[in-house]
Structure formats: structure tokens, C-alpha cells
Amino acid sequence: MAAKAWPHAPRSLSNLVRTRAALLRGSARHSSWTAIEGRVADLLRAHFVAAPPALRRIESSASAAILNQIIHYEAVHEIQDLRDLWRRLETDRRCYALFSASMPDEPLVFIELALTSRAVTDVGIILDPDAPVVDPDGCTHAMFYSISSCHEGLRGVPLGGLLIRRVLDQLQRELPHLRTFATVSPVPGFRAWLSDLARSRGGEFSQIVASLDDSTWLRDPEVGARAKSVLLPLCASYLVHAKRGNEPLDAVARFHLGNGARLDGVNWLGDRSAAGLARSAGFTANYVYEPSEIDSNHTLYRQTHVVCAAQQLAVLAHGAAVHVA
């Protein structure tokens, strides 16, 4: 179906999103559904080109239906309770979402950020519900810490990158004193990658993985320092060199690099939560969105899949890659 033939009935977009979700779930059992799913995905992409979604800031005054969806679909850092939610919506925190006129009460994708006076490497600082509220006018950094899609049927429809660009534009207009736009992101495939190395290589890699199951490295500074000296370069190598085809193995790296960011750093014990330890061995990564470089970084990545990384991180990764290879 051509984009101009898009049906404009109020529930058409909602129906297509739900239909594609069902097709995605069933395509493993019904191979013939794959082609149909692809056509529906093309219809969805065409719709958002013809009718771009609108950016809205989610505040505590939003409807209960929308706030409940933010709680339900938060995919990176679970919202623990209402106190946690209210803190994430304070003046020095922001939540933005894209909405379609065809689905006005259902966010399509949303992003959360913290306004700070410095780069943040420990996401626990941002997530602390008791953290004091600061004046946004005194902040120089916008630290993105979570982005979540609300609809399985929109998987692969490029709304996340559009949301980031819209938010950057909005923040630059509203808060022109902000100098840095960066993420404090999980490294969700790192722990699994280490486990694969342990199974295939054994030796010291098996020892490293075994040590992660013992919380001593979290309690004992001496043991922690030894673990850091081994794991920090391995995490850098994972993000820069580990591949899925031509692209980075890590899903978060693929997303941010594909949207024009630069990998700027990896952070030891940047996420001490149970989820952070299980998926990332406690690491976080900083990706920087430099507005003047987003387009060139995006083009370079799409053409070459080269990981745009800070020099010190590339050097750290290279040393570990030689050891891993």
C-alpha cells in the first residue's frame, strides 16, 4: 500500500501497531507471516514520515493513564514506587515522549534525563529518590539515562533517534547554557559476553566469571581494585571490538552509535543494582551527543560501522583486544 493510500480512520494506526506485534510474536511458528509483517512495518514507517509524531514533556500533572504507561514500559531502570516516579519528573529531571495524533493517550517512545552540573558516571546518583532537587539554570549537562519503547509493534521503526534529536533541539532552545548532552547507559551484553569467553577459552576468563559470582569484589577494596584492572579494559574491548556481523554486539552501542553519538567512556561500578550487576557486571557507558557532529557520525557509522570512540578508550580497548583475540 502506498503512503498516500494510508487509511485515516482514528484507530487505524493503533490497529496496525497491534497487528504487527501479533505478527512478530507468531512469525517463528508461521514463516509466511514474515512478508506480511514486513509490509505492515513499511506502512508504519510511511505513516510517521507523512505524519511525524509530536514531542511532549511528561510532567506530574499528566493523566493517570499516561503516567501508568511510563511506569509499565520503563525498560532500563524499573520505577519502584510513586515517590520514585515523582522524583523523575521534578524540575531537574525530564521525561519526554513522542505521541501520534492517532493515539493521543499512548506514548510511542519516551526518554528520561537528569540535568546536572557535571558528567555522571554512576546512574545511582540520578536514580536516588532522595537526591536534592537542583536549579536547572545552574546545570551544564543533560544526562540521558533511559529510553523505552511502549509498543512491540513499533520495533525497528526509527522513533528513538527522532526522539533524541527532538529533545536535543528542545533543550537547546529552553536551556541554552547546557554544554554537554550525554548518556549514562547500561552495557547489557557484557556479562553474557564474558560468560561466552569463559566457556570457549577457559583459564583466566573462567576465573574472572567465577569471581563475579562472589560478592567479595564489591565489598573488599583490594579485591575490587584487582577486578577493575582486568574488567575495565575488557569492557572497553567489548564495546569497541565485539561484533554482531559488522555492527557492535552490544544493543545499546548499536543504538547510540547509529544515532550519531560518540562512545566517550566506560565506568567501573556505574550501576550497582541487581540488574546492573547481572547484565553489565556493574559497568555503565557514556555516549556523547555533540549536536554539531551527530549527522557526520551517523553517516560514518552507517557507511563503515566504525565505532566512534574517544582516543583513550580506543587505546584501552586495543590492549585488551590483543589479549582476547
Domains 54-183 and 186-324 share a fold: yes
**C-alpha grid cell for residue 30?**
508461521
How many Cβ atoms are within 10 Å of 156's Cβ, its own excluded?
A: 13
How many Cβ atoms are within 10 Å of 324's Cβ, its own excluded?
A: 16
Q: Is 5 exposed, middle or buried (0-12, 13-18, 19+ CB in 10 A)?
A: exposed
Widest CA span in the chain: 66
Cβ atoms of 271 and 284 within 8 Å: the answer is yes
Which of the listed CATH numbers 3.40.470.10, 3.20.20.150, 3.40.50.1820, 3.40.630.150 matches domain 54-183? 3.40.630.150
Identify residue 156 by its one-letter amino acid code. G
Residue 325: its pLDDT value, please? Answer: 57
Which of the listed CATH numbers 3.40.50.300, 3.40.190.10, 3.40.50.2300, 3.40.630.150 matches domain 186-324? 3.40.630.150
Q: Of the candidates 262, 247, 254, which has an alpha carbon nearest to the alpha carbon of residue 296?
A: 262
Residue 217: its pLDDT value, please? Answer: 87
Residue 323: its pLDDT value, please? Answer: 58
Residue 308: its pLDDT value, please? Answer: 95
Residue 300: its pLDDT value, please? Answer: 95
For cell 493503533, name the residue: 14
Q: Tell me the C-alpha distance between 96 and 105, whole Å.
A: 14
Residue 28: its pLDDT value, please? Answer: 85
Predicted TM-score (pTM) of this structure: 0.92
Pairing mode, strands 247-248 and 262-267: unpaired
Domain ranges of the chain: 3-50, 54-183, 186-324
Residue 203: its pLDDT value, please? Answer: 82
57 forms bridges with which residues in the sheet?
Answer: 96
Residue 219: its pLDDT value, please? Answer: 87
What are the residue ranges in the chain where pLDDT is below 70? Answer: 1-11, 321-325
DSSP for residue 103: B
